[in-house]
Structure formats: structure tokens, C-alpha cells
Amino acid sequence: MATLFDPLTLRGLTIRNRMFLPPMCTYSCKDQDGVPNDWHLVHYGSRAVGGFGLITAEATGVTPDGRITPYDCGLWNDTQRDAWKRVVDFVHEYGAAISVQLNHAGRKGSSADKAATVPESEGGWKTMAPSAIAFPGYDTPREMTKDDIASVTKAFADAAKRAVAAGFDAVELHAAHGYLLFEFLSPLTNQRTDEYGGDFDGRSRFLIEVVDAVRAVLPDTMPLMVRISATEWLDDGWSVRESVQLATLLKEHGVDMMDVSSGGNVPAQIDTQPGYQVWLARHVGRSGMPVIAVGLITSPKQAARIMGEGNLDALAIGRAALRRPYWPLWAGYKLDKQPEDMPYPQAYQRGAFVPKQKQDSEGK
Ligand SMILES: Cc1cc2nc3c(=O)[nH]c(=O)nc-3n(C[C@H](O)[C@H](O)[C@H](O)COP(=O)(O)O)c2cc1C
């Protein structure tokens, strides 16, 4: 059974360990141009120095109106591609792999801190979605035409091409949390009567078309990942059973790993206990799809126990890694790894966490 410290190979990519940084928006493109800047270099660079295996860069718009907020990163132009390359090169220098989460925000786009649509006068835009149903507090989106669907599919593929050119090691599609791809999956937000709505096959069609378009532009050696909300925590929403069914289908379409989250499409009561989504990842993994578990995994001992219980391929550490960018190096110390077995950069070796016995003898 794999531990947190074992490498993981997906297609042609070997990731140095199974401690992943999940995608987390930092809303830090101050100029509203989607171009990653020094903030992103320092933020992701620190987590590479901190020992993460795979870093997935935050939700990145495939079009300007695919952003969640005007401050999101993008990959719809070559300036953004070149700026990402600087971040990617730095992360590689410190041994981590890096993927990018490609996103279209759908009806939850053009938002800001106040959970309301930003007016166009302040850099906002009109939103679109599978059906003209508003997220509470936001403007009502317009229903997408088939041309819209085709054009967003192409935008995902074009952004994926730029991700390859920027040197990313993998691409993750954001089909979770109530953004556009998930809005199509859920019967609560997809009430279309054409072939993109209705039963499981209809609601999954758009995601599968995006997967096929993106897979077609990625080298065979490059992994493709998909993040889903495995449940909406509501009886009439997208279900765990459908998530397992989707994982089987995605595997057939060349997806290599799923990142298993939950909720976010419609308001719901979620009991956020430590590790509250781990069971969902295990369920999805029953399809044979490699899975990442995420959600309130905060301490090294908890993470080691969860991995030790099996049927998971990697864990993602989100908010705990905002507080502690060197979480993996710290986990090595807490879980009795020798400093020389951890990926300290040369410049920091004299400051490595030292195991307790050694510390005592060196302290004298
Ligand atoms: C500040 C912040 C930004 C986030 N942005 C994204 C995002 O861009 N894409 C995404 O799929 N999830 C996003 N999430 C969810 C995280 O990836 C993660 O799934 C969630 O925080 C649960 O993990 P944790 O308890 O380890 O933080 C975000 C979470 C936080 C706290």
C-alpha cells in the first residue's frame, strides 16, 4: 500500500510523492488581465520548495467570461501562457510537478466577495449556463446555445494547448463546485430538453466532449485529471452513484485521475468534519480510476492514517498549506522521515527539521 512519501506515475509523469496542493483561487491578478504575476510565482514557488509532489494551480479561466472573478488567472491568450511558463519553470526547478485547473465559471462567474454579480461597469460580465436558473444572489444567466457549447469546448482545448506550451505537467478540468461543467452534470441546474440535458448520458455529454477535445491536444504522455463534486448532499441532486458511473466513462475517454470534492452548485447543509470527503474518493475509486482525496486533511498523522486505510492514490492539503507552505517537509519530520530523505532545497538543508533524538544530541 502506498504511503504519502511514495512516488506516483501517471502516463509519462512521475510525481515525487502523494502530497498534493489542490487548486485554490488567489484572485490576485490585480490588473484584471488574467496574467499570473510575482504573487503566483512566490505562492506556487514556496509550495514547490515546501516539498509538494503535485501542485495544481488555481481555477484558470479558459475565456474572460469563464473566470469566477475579474481577478482570476486565465489561459485564453499567449501573454498569460508565457507568464505561466515562468511559474512552471520555477516549480520544476524545485522538483514538484504542476498542473493547471482549467475552468469556465458559468452562472457563478462575474462574482466577488459579496456573492453577487459584479456589474459590467466594474469589470463584470453577463453569465451563461445550461439553463436560465440563477445561483441565489447572482444574476440570472442566459441559456447556452449549441454554438456556445461548441465555442466553450474549443476554448478548453485551446487553453489546454497553451498549458502544454507553458510546460505544465498535467491538466485538470474543473467539473466541481457548481461551475459550468458541473452545472451541466446536475439535474438541479441542467433542465435542458436537448441532447445536453435529461438523463445521465445527456447531462454528461458536454463534459465528455470537453474531455475528448482536451485529450486530443495533450501529448500521450501527459495526464488529464478531472475534479468533480461527487455529491451535492441533496437527495435530488447529482449523486455518488452517478459519480462512480462518470468515473468509469471518463476512464474510457482517457482521464487518468479524479480529484474528488463535493457541493457548491446549490446551497446545502454540509457536515464538514475532518476528512469529510475521503469516503467519496474511495467510492469513486471503486471504478478503478486513480483518486485524490481532499477536505479538512490537516495533520501529518491524520493524512498517514487516511492513506494507510487504503484505496486512495494521493491526498490534497488545501487550507493547511496556506498556513504552512512547507507542509510536506513538516510531515516528513512528524512521520519520522530522515531529513536526507525529504526534498529540502540545498539552500535550506542546514535548517531542516531534525528528528528528536538527533536534536537532543546536537543540542549538547
Ligand atoms: C481560498 C480557497 C480557494 C479555493 N479555490 C478553488 C479553486 O480554484 N478550485 C477548486 O476546485 N477548489 C478550490 N477551493 C477548494 C480547495 O481546493 C479544497 O478542495 C478545499 O479547500 C478543501 O480542502 P482543505 O480542507 O484541505 O482546504 C478553494 C479553497 C480555498 C480555501
Which of 21, 25, 40 for mutating ligand 1's site (highest number of atoms within 8 Å of CB)? 25
Would you state the pLDDT for residue 55? 99
Query: How many CB atoms sit inside 10 A of residue 220's CB?
Result: 8
> Which homologous superfamily does the CATH classification assign to the domain defined by 8-363?
Aldolase class I (3.20.20.70)
Give the nearest ligand 1 atom to 297 CA. 26
Q: For residue 145, which of 182, 192, 112, 186 has the smallest C-alpha distance? A: 192
Would you state the pLDDT for residue 352? 97
Q: How far apart are the first and last CA of the chain?
A: 39
Would you state the pLDDT for residue 359? 65
Query: Residue 166, exposed/middle/buried by CB under 10 A (0-12, 13-18, 19+)?
Result: buried
Would you state the pLDDT for residue 90? 98
175 lines ligand 1 (CB under 6 A): no
Positions in the chain short of pLDDT 50: 364
Q: Measured over all CA atoms, what is the biggest interatomic distance in the chain, rounded to whole angstroms?
A: 76
Q: For residue 22, which of 136, 96, 101 has the smallest C-alpha distance? A: 101
Whole-number Å distance between alpha carbons of 215 and 188: 28
338 C-alpha vs ligand 1 centroid, how far in Å? 30
Please list, in sequence order, all residues whose beta carbon lies within 8 angstroms of the beta carbon of residue 358, skipping any fewer than 6 positions away: none
Q: What is the residue extent of each domain of the chain?
A: 8-363
141 C-alpha vs ligand 1 centroid, how far in Å? 24
Whole-number Å distance between alpha carbons of 74 and 158: 12
**CB 210 within 8 Å of CB 153:** yes
Give the nearest ligand 1 atom to 321 CA. 26
Whole-number Å distance between alpha carbons of 203 and 209: 11
195 C-alpha vs ligand 1 centroid, how far in Å? 32
Nearest CA to ligand 1 atom 30: 24
| pLDDT tens, residue by residue, 238-293 | 999 999 999 999 999 999 999 999 999 999 999 999 999 999 999 999 999 999 99
Would you state the pLDDT for residue 112? 82
Whole-number Å distance between alpha carbons of 236 and 186: 9
Whole-number Å distance between alpha carbons of 106 and 30: 22
Would you state the pLDDT for residue 116? 82
Q: Work out whether strand 224-229 and strand 257-261 pair parallel, antiparallel, or are unpaired.
A: parallel
Would you state the pLDDT for residue 355? 82
Would you state the pLDDT for residue 363? 54
Whose cell is 509550495? That residue is 47
Nearest CA to ligand 1 atom 11: 23
296 lines ligand 1 (CB under 6 A): yes
Whole-number Å distance between alpha carbons of 65 and 68: 8
